[in-house]
Structures are given as C-alpha cells and as structure tokens.
Amino acid sequence: MTAPATDTAFWNERRRHIRTGIGKWLGGRDVLVRGQWMLRDLLQQLNVTQLAVLNITGRVIDRRLATWLEKTVFFTSYPDHRIWCNQLGALAGNGKTSPVAATAAGILAADSKAYGSKVQYLTVLSLAEMHADYAAGTSLAELVARFPVRNGVPSISGFARPVKVADERLEPMRRFSADLGFTPGHYVEFVEALAEHLRVHHQADMNAAAYACAFLMDQGFSAMEVYRIRTADVLSGVLACYGDLYDCPADAFLPQTCTDVQYEGVARRAVPRPL
Amino acid sequence: MPLATEPQSRADFTTRICLESPSESNPYIAERRYIAGYDVAELWRNCSYVDALLVLLTGELPSPAQRRLVEVFLIGLLNPGPRHPAVRAAMLAGVSKTAPEHLLPIGLLTGSGSQGGALEVEAAHAFFSKNLDRDPLELADQYLGQQRPIPGFGTSYGEPEPIWQQLATDLLDVMPDHPVLRWCRAFSRVLQQHQQGWLLPGLAAAVGMTLGLGTRETLGLFQLAIAPGVMAQGMEQTHQPISSNPLLRDDQYDCASD
C-alpha cells in the first residue's frame, strides 16, 4: 500500500514564483517601492534615511524624524579603535580584507547583548514591559527591584550606567530632539522618571540607548523595527578603523606576545599510546 | 593542576583551551602550541582530525564510541544539500560573482537563524537540557496535545525528511545506552507516530548534549559541521556564468501594487 501523497500546494504556489508587496524592478521603466514609484516620485521626495525607513517599515517618515535618526548615528559610530566592532575593523584592515568584509564583521559584532543594535532591540522590549506595568500601577522601586544588581547598579537594558560616568550623548540628544521640535512622549517621560529614580536611589543613570529607544517608541516603532533600522549604525566607525590600519605592515594592530593570553587550562601532557 | 603562564598584571584574554609557549628569541612567536595540554604536533602525528576536534571541544580525547558518533555526525552534515538555506545562499553568492572568500561566511550567516539554523540548535539544546529528567513519552504527548512547536523536531515540506531520520537512527545506534540518546530515541518515537521527525538542528543538539557540550558550543559545532558543504557548493558555482541562475521573469513576480 502506498502512503497518501502530502499536500504540497503551499510550496507549489511559491516554486519559481514570488508574490510580494515590497517592491519590483520594472526594467527600463521604474521601480515600485511599497506601491510608490521610486524614480518618478521618491527620488525627488525623500532623502536616503526616509527611503531606508520606508524600505524597512513601509512608513514614510517626515524629514525631522529622518534628521533625528541621522544625528543619533553620530552617537553609535565613534571612530575609536577600542570599541569592539572597531577593533574588528582594524584587524580586518591590517589583514587587508575587503572593506565589505570588515564592515560585515563589525556590524555582526555589534549584534550584541552588550552594545549595538541588539541591545536596542532588547531595550525596547524591556521598556515596553516596564512601561505597561508602570501604567498599571507598579512603582518605579518595584520595577527596579526585578532586575539583578551587577557592578553595584541594577542591570536594566539601557540603564547600565554608573552615575559617576555620565553619558556624554544624553544632553546633546535631548537638545537636538527639542531643536527639531519634538516634545517628550509617554516613553521618554517614563525613562526620564526611571533615570531620576536610579540617580536618587541607586547611583545609576540611563544611557543614550534608553533615551533613543524611548524616543523611537514614542514615534511608533516596534522593537523589531528599531533593530532593523539600527542594524548598520556602527558602519562608519568600523570603516574608519579599517582604513587606519589598511596600509600598515602586518601585525601592527595591538600585537600580542604569547603570554599576553593567559592559559588557565590543564597542564601539559602526553598523548596516550596506543590511542 | 592549572598551568599558569608568566605572572602579569592583566592578560588580554584568558583561556582554558590553548597555551602557546613563546620562542626564546622572540616573545611574539610560538615555539609550541598546546590544546588542552596536548602538544598540537603530537596530535597531528598520532590522532585523527576528529580526535583533535574533540580535544578542542571537550578538553579530552574521545572514547571510541564518541569518536564514531562525531564521525557519523560530521559526515551526515558534511553537505546538507544544495537546497539547504545555508548552502543555497553560498551558491547564490557564488554564481553572482561575490568575492569567493565571502561564500562560507555568507552561508553560515544565512543558516544562523532560529528557523532551521544555528539558533534552532541552541533552542533544541535548551529544550533537551530542560526536559531530560522528564518522562519522554509524557512530554511528547503533552507537546503534541497542545500543538506546541518542539525545537529540533517537525517536518520539512509537510513530512519528516527521510535522510535525517536515517541519520538519527544511525547516530542513536552508535551509543544506544547513553542516557541522552536513549531519551531522544524514546521521545522521537512518539513524535514519529504523529508524522513528526528529527530536524537537522535537533540532531546537532542531541550530539552536542551527548558529548557534554554547552548550548553555545553545540551551536558552533553545527556551523562547523555544515561548513564543508556550504564552502564546496558555493565555490563550485563561482565557475558558472551568472546567467546560469537567471532572475525570475516579470510574469513570475507579482507585486501587490504592480
């Protein structure tokens, strides 16, 4: 007896056929982007950040918000070799990789729970949950008490900042947000209140990620949209460090002696024979 | 007894895997390199690649059964096939004249996700770790009854893919009395009665668990295992003209706002 045939209609419909609402290149004519004509209309109407957000989210944002997003990239791509993704850029440059490989490595490195794009995704998720509970009546002290304490401060995504090392990006970010005509929304007001609580009670503060994420939440972006918009933020800093080392001789970037790496494993031993 | 390197105020890194003893004439070059205490030169003279790999991953030389388990696993995953997303990505990049040194990373990145990729290996490993002390039959019934997805198990295109079921059988037969594999066998048998089967990430997670590897190391072992196929199939395509993989025609591409 033969087994009944599996219904493969779902895959048959998609085999060698694409159905999408994202866009389509119409060779020799124009390109559809979310239902709008790229060359006829969008080329004149949008800047590159607006186009990127349209491609990523389907939303046409106004120029003020596009400018805000561009300005915040100033804070996420410092050309400092010590930052992890930039170290990769420098190592890649010193190895004369292609700039694309270096950038891809740096962007991947910044897909991190500690910094970069992923931490912003996690921060939005965390803020959304905390804000919902706060709105339902949970106190700030109760919210903070849910998080473990690390290095003496509550470990809250976007708030892991000791008060003695103020985040130099916060004030400029608040200032240009105001200069662009934005007023604090519910989420920004919430993170400001939480930061004040942390300063008073825990010698802690928020960092720029919490503020920026709250701002984007006020603008209606989801956690995944923020993750996607922020994916390549570290690009220019990585390439700066890459270029700095590109023409250097081999092993010029932070050379290490054998003992700069400390071994903590088992002692030397012979391979038993016969194996 | 740990063997410390020369005392210093701060190391760049610490590692339990590798010791490099410096040359007397130059501290930047290594006279010898040790993996988990074994001189790597002794390993290449006396061991197989799988032996050395297991020293690297577990810190110890394998038992004959562990060696065989990993050999079967590595051959089984050597090339997950040209339709596997990781391999397909490398092939697509290869035929489109992407710089060849990028093909392997491209494939591994594409195959890193939580739906069939490295992150599903992580999820399956976590699932096994959490549930190994539970009765596999009850657990399987519970998940099936609630129609909850089980990381590492399911169907491909509507059915369990036979080749992975065969690989699972052969892997489980290598160490039939190992508690992890015994649990997996019982769990998967219940699923099979409901047309669910092993997926590649589940197999990788089971092997990693059996070797005593952690979640992240198991994820990495999966990536390592599929790498040869990703690389070879990708490189092969670099020799093909770009026109050998033509774009779909306009009538094969419907845009909602077309």
- Cα nearest neighbour of A251 on chain B: B28
Does residue A34 register a pLDDT over 90? yes
Task: Please check whether residues B83 and B197 belong to one and the same domain.
Answer: yes
Does residue A72 register a pLDDT over 50? yes
On whether residue B204 sits in a domain, the answer given is yes
pLDDT of residue B3: 44
User: B258: pLDDT confidence band, cut at 50, 70 and 90?
Assistant: low
Task: Please check whether residues B116 and B233 belong to one and the same domain.
Answer: yes
Give residue-wise pLDDT tens across range B192-230: 999 999 999 999 999 999 999 999 999 999 999 999 999
The structural domain count of chain B equals: 2
Q: Exposed, middle or buried: residue B200 (CB in 10 Å: 0-12, 13-18, 19+)? A: buried
User: DSSP letters of B131-165?
Assistant: HTTS-HHHHHHHHHHHT---TTEE-BTTB--HHHH
- How large is the average pLDDT for residues B44-66? 97
Task: Please check whether residues B221 and B111 belong to one and the same domain.
Answer: yes
What radius of gyration do chain B's Cα atoms show? Answer: 22
CA angle A210, A218, A234 (to 5 degrees): 45
- ipTM for the predicted complex: 0.85
Task: Please check whether residues B183 and B98 belong to one and the same domain.
Answer: yes
Work out the minimum CA distance from B160 to partner chain A, whole angstroms: 11
Work out the minimum CA distance from A15 to partner chain B, whole angstroms: 10
Rounded Cα distance, A11 and A62, in Å: 39
Task: Please check whether residues B73 and B45 belong to one and the same domain.
Answer: no
Residue in the block written with tokens 């007397």: B24
- How many CB pairs lie under 8 A apart between chains A and B? 153
- How large is the average pLDDT for residues B42-59? 97
* Mean pLDDT score of chain B: 94
Rounded Cα distance, B12 and B187, in Å: 45
- Cα nearest neighbour of B15 on chain A: A263
CB contact under 8 Å between A258 and B29, yes or no, is yes
CB contact under 8 Å between A32 and B29, yes or no, is no
Task: Please check whether residues B99 and B183 belong to one and the same domain.
Answer: yes
Rounded Cα distance, B133 and B127, in Å: 11
- Cα nearest neighbour of B247 on chain A: A16
Task: Please check whether residues B56 and B71 belong to one and the same domain.
Answer: no
Q: Of B74, B112, B80, which Cα lies nearest the Cα of B229?
A: B80
Give residue-wise pLDDT tens across range B110-169: 999 999 999 999 999 999 999 999 999 999 999 999 999 999 999 999 999 999 999 999
Residues of A in contact with B159 (CB under 8 A): 6
* Percent of chain A whose predicted confidence (pLDDT) is above 90: 87
Task: Please check whether residues B201 and B233 belong to one and the same domain.
Answer: yes
Task: Please check whether residues B24 and B134 belong to one and the same domain.
Answer: no
CB contact under 8 Å between A255 and B28, yes or no, is yes
CB contact under 8 Å between B38 and A271, yes or no, is yes
Q: Where in the sequence is the domain holding B76, given as residue range(s)? A: 67-238
- How large is the average pLDDT for residues A181-204? 95
Does residue A135 register a pLDDT over 90? yes
On whether residue B190 sits in a domain, the answer given is yes
**Residue among A259, A265, A269 minimizing CB distance to B17:** A265
CB distance from A256 to chain B under 8 Å? yes
Task: Please check whether residues B222 and B121 belong to one and the same domain.
Answer: yes
One-letter amino acid at B5 equals T
Does residue B1 register a pLDDT over 50? no
Does residue A95 register a pLDDT over 90? yes
Task: Please check whether residues B79 and B95 belong to one and the same domain.
Answer: yes
CB contact under 8 Å between B157 and A23, yes or no, is no
Task: Please check whether residues B23 and B142 belong to one and the same domain.
Answer: no
CB distance from A13 to chain B under 8 Å? no
